[in-house]
Chain A
Amino acid sequence: MEPLVDIRDVSFAYGAVRALTNVSLRLEPGTVGIVGNNGAGKSTLLRILLGLLHPTSGGGTVLGCDVRQSSSQLRGLVGYMPEAHAVVPLLKGVEFVALSGDLYGMPKRDARRRAHEVLNYVGLGELRYRRLDEYSTGNLQRLKLAAALVHDPKLLLLDEPTNGLDPAGRTAMLRTIEDLIAATGKSVILCTHLLADIERICKQVVVMHQGTVARAGTLDALRQHTASRYALRWQGPREPFVAALQAAQVSLDFPPEHAAVPSTEQHALAVVPTGWHTAQFFELAGRSEAVVVELRPEQEDLEQLFFRVTHGN
């Protein structure tokens, strides 16, 4: 199968400022999350993948199109949802999406028809005749998604699609993206600071750090697997249960404490000795008047992975 992205030794500099240094990346079709702190080079990479910027050196292909030459053809295959506000003032929702289609080179009537269709799909059916000035943040994000979908692209580049959304809006947006992937098999490259979004949607992850790709691959392969670690949450007094666990050779690790209010709930990370039986947790708890309400084998999440890679801890 043709790779989604295949670039080699790509560098880019804005004048004297180096934004990307020798980035080589090969991604399979599917869902990809890009994470990195501000200034790590994420948006520069996106713009190069989109053919908007030409790399200072290096090159490669996206969906089989050369990123240096066929940028117009490439953008016909890619739908881009920018992070910036970037709407045309005074237009109505459906006009904006149709404009996006026109700009992608669709015939005018198809663009118009298709605009209605994608607006319905992203859940803006009732708002499509309103002016953009009246749209809330959440609706603007959906509108921008619709504008990126209008020409039925093979690949979606989403830059911070859930930024500024409340939980309901965020869930709805993520559901739409998930549904889209499931129904059509489109590839998605998702760029966001909200790592939970990436964990939920993406199979592959690219961690960027200071203009280079620090790690790339499937999330499962990148995770550090540690057996015999459990996240433990219990209700009831803290000390007796902790003491009992420590007496049983379980070493405990506590998350940073909150300043003021003592809570009725405690939680800790427990590393258990070999030959440990999980029923012992409940047994010890019962003896120290605690009630275990959560027990999870600990797996490294994306946030921990990210800090391990970028901060070395």
Chain B
Amino acid sequence: MGIDAAHYHPWKTNPGGKLGGPLLGAWRGVAAVVRTTLLQLMRRKAYWAIYAVGISQFVVYWVVIYALTQLQLPSGTQRGMLNTFGFSIEAADPQDTGYLDFMEQQSYVVMIMLAFCGSLVVGSDFREGTLPFYLSRRLERRHYILGKLIALVGLIWLFTVLPALILFLEYGMFTTSTDYWRANWRVVPSILGYGTILGVVLALWLAAISAYLQKLAPIAVVWSSLFVLLGRLGFMLSRETGIREWVLLDPWKDLRLAGRLCFGQFRTAGDAQLSATAAWILICVSLVALLALIRRVRAVEVSA
């Protein structure tokens, strides 16, 4: 046996360890794409720098919640501080917007990070001929797209949903009874809902843009135009013309309104009216992005 070590060994399958059938095999492929994509990102130092920026905000919220539940401050001060961060002092007040505010603020960091990772995660597959490698295994187009999207959504959740849920747990733990969790259980599906909207929409848009533009500079130009320029223009238009609908030009605003739809909380009544339109805008643009992405992947399969 020792002499034999250098020779080729056929694959001796463990019980149940064969190549999966079409369904199982494809699922394993998708999981591998997801794992690999996340791994690639985490090997980049720039990613950790951005994650550190993102998580610093989480630390602030953590400290605030800790301080407010533990310290005996004069009640006026405490109430004021809590309100600044969107939490209320009464354990069971359903008007908490702290989690929502937190996720909204996190999404700025998410946007910057996505601008950087689009060319690595999707663009380079197209630019350097890695896509044919994926597709020459037992992966179909749809599995590749699905895998990349899941990875991107997971990445976005690492910045938003996960820390928000941790904050929710923290709040409940420090109030020493389970009342907080019981009274506010609706927060959890709301966080998940907002996270899903944020994840799916951003992932689809980024994947489509990166598949066509591939390199960092053009991706950054388009991405920042979408999320910075349109926001500023929409804001000025709505303020100067007095027509509120103009704010919907801003994808951030749309995402935020859709998020508030999940939480059922709006700053103003106007926001509540706009939120359904905002959701429809997101759905339509995302569908266009998905179709564009599929088209692009198909083109590579035939030509490369």
Contacts and interface: CB of A to CB of B under 8 A. Distances in A.
Contacts of A50: 136
B136 A52 contact: yes
A179 interface: yes
A107 B28 CA distance: 7
Nearest to A15: B302
A110 interface: yes
Given A117-B9, A121-B8, A105 B138 contact: yes
B20 to A, nearest CB: 4
A90 interface: yes
Contact of B8 (A73, A89, A183): A183
B40 A105 contact: no
A63 to B, nearest CB: 14
Contacts of A85: 128-129
Contact of B31 (A53, A76, A102): A102
A151 B19 contact: yes
Contact of B10 (A73, A120, A179, A184): A184
Contacts of B43: 90-91
A120 B7 CA distance: 9
A61 interface: no
Nearest to A184: B8
A271 B158 CA distance: 78
A105 B139 CA distance: 9
A225 interface: no
Contact of A89 (B13, B24, B40): B40
Interface string B32-43: 110110011001
Nearest to A89: B124
Interface in A82-129: 82, 84-91, 95, 99-100, 102-110, 114, 117, 120-121
A50 B19 CA distance: 17
B36 to A, nearest CB: 5
B130 A86 contact: yes
B193 interface: no
B267 interface: no
A171 interface: no
From A88, A109, A180, name the one whose CB has the most chain B CB atoms within 10 angstroms. Answer: A88
A110 B36 contact: no
Contact of B17 (A84, A102, A104, A107): A107
Nearest to B44: A90
Contacts of B11: 110, 114, 151-152
Contacts of A152: 10-11
A138 to B, nearest CB: 19
A37 interface: no
A103 B22 contact: no
A14 B303 contact: yes
Interface in B49-107: none
From B13, B32, B135, name the one whose CB has the most chain A CB atoms within 10 angstroms. Answer: B32
A103 B137 contact: yes
Contact of B28 (A52, A75, A105): A105
Contacts of A95: 36, 39
Nearest to A181: B8
Interface string B242-263: 0000000000000000000000
A84 B129 contact: yes
A217 B135 CA distance: 31
A5 B133 CA distance: 23
A92 to B, nearest CB: 9
B119 to A, nearest CB: 11
A26 B303 CA distance: 27
A241 interface: no
A72 interface: yes
A82 B133 contact: yes
A105 to B, nearest CB: 3
Given A84-B129, A91-B36, A102-B28, A72 B138 contact: yes
A183 B19 contact: no
Interface string A11-24: 00010000000000
A120 B140 CA distance: 30
A14 B6 CA distance: 44
B282 interface: no
B8 A106 contact: no
A80 interface: yes
A248 B139 CA distance: 68
B17 A110 contact: yes
B155 to A, nearest CB: 15
Contacts of B24: 105
B66 to A, nearest CB: 37
Contacts of A14: 302-303
A181 to B, nearest CB: 10
28 contacts: A50-B136, A82-B136, A84-B133, A85-B129, A86-B128, A90-B40, A91-B39, A91-B40, A102-B29, A102-B35, A103-B29, A103-B134, A103-B139, A104-B25, A104-B29, A105-B24, A105-B28, A107-B17, A110-B11, A110-B13, A110-B14, A110-B17, A117-B9, A120-B5, A121-B7, A121-B8, A121-B9, A183-B8
Given A87-B130, A110-B14, A121-B6, 16 more contacts: A50-B136, A52-B135, A72-B138, A75-B137, A86-B128, A87-B133, A88-B36, A91-B36, A91-B39, A99-B32, A102-B28, A102-B29, A104-B29, A105-B19, A105-B138, A183-B8
